[in-house]
Amino acid sequence: MRLLHTMLRVGNLEKSIAFYTEVLGMTLLRQKEYPKGEFTLAFLGYSNEAENTVLELTYNWGVTEYDLGNGYGHIAIEVPDVYATADAIKKVGGKIIREAGPMNAGNTIIAFAEDPDGYQIEFIGEGHIRT
């Protein structure tokens, strides 16, 4: 077994694809419209779906926003340099909601960004997982 993807509902598919590709550097792997169901799916990631977990964006036609609720947490992405990543995101117009620095009650360097729909993305420095 393996984790295939995480799905997020988005209010503007083009804007969301632009954020994940242009701001976070993902690649649009595939996209398909489902006219009978009135929705479009887009799959993005840092590598192919056959070997890696990816992000599925679901656009339900005509729905422009969602209530994120309080149960959702965030997507986490490992990066070589959290400070540089946060700076790069800001330079291209991305929204950093927690500046890079040590996590609360720990040493791990993290930062948080927010996508166009309000979903949070955490950036964690490489080597944070200790076995």
Residues labelled catalytic: 122
Q: Rounded to whole angstroms, what are the CA distances from 79 to 39, 46, 123?
A: 32, 12, 6
Is 42 exposed, middle or buried (CB count within 10 Å of its CB: 0-12, 13-18, 19+)? buried
Q: How many Å apart are CA 95 and CA 120, to the nearest integer?
A: 10
> What is the SS3 assignment for 40?
strand
- Token code pair at residue 128: 């944070």
